């Protein structure tokens, strides 16, 4: 286990200290996300989920209006914006001080969410690959930006994922993206290794085993493994049965340097963070 450097991100003019890992709760405004429990359509469902995330100890609410599950149907930018314009006011009505992240790969959607609603973070599954305007837009907006590693697109990423050297390719991918973003003046960059996105079961666990190598960038690391197929395809069952496995993988990720856990189940993740933090108190380096 490598010693962690203290990391901060600027969210709406306030510094969020990531020396104690944070939990990001998922709120999907989509009808087809892979985990049914995360889909929220009505105003009451959105309000209840917003309050649940915060009451269970979440620090960030991650709002998605475009399903990125393997093989998901494409959704137009207009439809994605319509869903967000419906959901974001409810979220901020319920929790005016909440730190809200929007999960989008579209620059126009990112701009709308920040400028119209004051969204604090943009979470991009494609790291600028699916919209060439994303990097200059997030640099101008000045918000924290999560860049995820993905091979392919949500429509084709799981067909034939292949790597000659997984870790080296992931590290090179991030090094090139980080340099481009810094050249544009972007700050508060966050890396996400992209578990389940263009990776086989073996790729996912190989990457998890070597995840601490991401510390070379000295940037916050976000991990999203919640109820994914890398868990239930190994253990059996479906996403509905994958909470215990999710908690186990989250704990490994924390010990490997994760700073943010993106999850469906906030309370178990918060408990994992508390245990990992207690363990780190007694760890010598």
User: Nearest CA to 29 among 70, 77, 63?
Assistant: 63
152 Cβ partners below 8 Å, 6+ apart?
158, 159, 161, 198
Over its length of 285 residues, how does the chain's per-residue pLDDT go in tens digits?
445 567 899 999 999 999 999 999 999 998 755 455 545 578 999 999 999 999 999 999 999 998 766 656 778 999 999 999 999 999 999 999 999 999 999 999 999 999 999 999 999 999 999 999 999 999 999 999 999 999 866 655 566 678 999 999 999 999 999 999 999 999 999 999 999 999 999 999 999 999 999 999 999 999 999 999 999 999 999 999 999 999 999 999 999 999 999 999 999 999 999 999 999 877 654
Tell me whether residue 262 is one of the annotated catalytic residues: yes
Neighbours of 140 (CB within 10 A): 14
Phi-psi group of 131: left, alpha or beta (phi > 0 → left; psi -120 to 50 → alpha; rest → beta): beta
**Annotated catalytic, 267?**
no
- Among 4, 228, 256, 267, the active-site one is 228
Beta-carbon contacts of 209 under 8 Å, excluding residues fewer than 6 positions away, are none
- What is the model's pLDDT at position 40? 57
Cα–Cα distance, 163 to 175 (Å, whole number): 17
Q: Among the options 132, 262, 267, 274, which is catalytic?
A: 262
Q: 23-279 maps to which CATH number?
A: 3.20.20.20
Domain ranges of the chain: 23-279
Quickly count: other Cβ atoms within 10 Å of residue 63's Cβ. Answer: 27
């Amino acid at each position: 286990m490598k010693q962690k450097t203290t990391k901060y991100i600027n969210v709406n003019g306030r510094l969020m200290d990531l020396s104690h890992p944070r939990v990001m709760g998922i709120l999907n405004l989509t009808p087809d996300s892979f985990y049914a429990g995360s889909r929220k359509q009505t105003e009451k469902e959105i309000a209840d989920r917003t309050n649940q995330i915060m009451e269970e100890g979440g620090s960030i609410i991650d709002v998605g209006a475009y399903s990125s599950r393997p093989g998901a149907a494409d959704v137009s930018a207009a439809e994605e914006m319509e869903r967000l314009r419906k959901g974001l006011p409810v979220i901020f009505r319920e929790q005016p001080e909440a730190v809200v992240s929007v999960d989008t790969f579209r620059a126009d959607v990112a701009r709308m969410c920040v400028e119209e609603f004051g969204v604090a973070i943009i979470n991009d599954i494609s790291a600028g690959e699916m919209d060439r305007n994303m990097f200059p837009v997030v640099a101008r907006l000045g918000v924290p930006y999560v860049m995820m590693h993905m091979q392919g697109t949500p429509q084709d990423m799981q067909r034939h994922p292949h790597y000659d050297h997984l870790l080296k390719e992931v590290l090179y991918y991030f090094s090139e993206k980080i340099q481009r973003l810094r050249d544009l003046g972007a700050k508060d960059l966050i890396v996400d290794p992209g578990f389940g996105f263009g990776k086989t079961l073996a790729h996912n666990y190989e990457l998890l085993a070597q995840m601490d190598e991401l510390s070379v960038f000295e940037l916050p690391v976000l991990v999203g493994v919640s109820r994914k197929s890398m868990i239930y395809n190994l253990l059996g069952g479906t996403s509905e049965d994958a909470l215990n496995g999710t908690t186990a993988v989250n704990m490994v990720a924390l010990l490997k340097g994760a700073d943010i856990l993106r999850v469906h189940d906030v309370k178990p993740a918060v408990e994992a963070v508390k245990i990992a933090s207690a363990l780190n108190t007694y760890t010598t380096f």
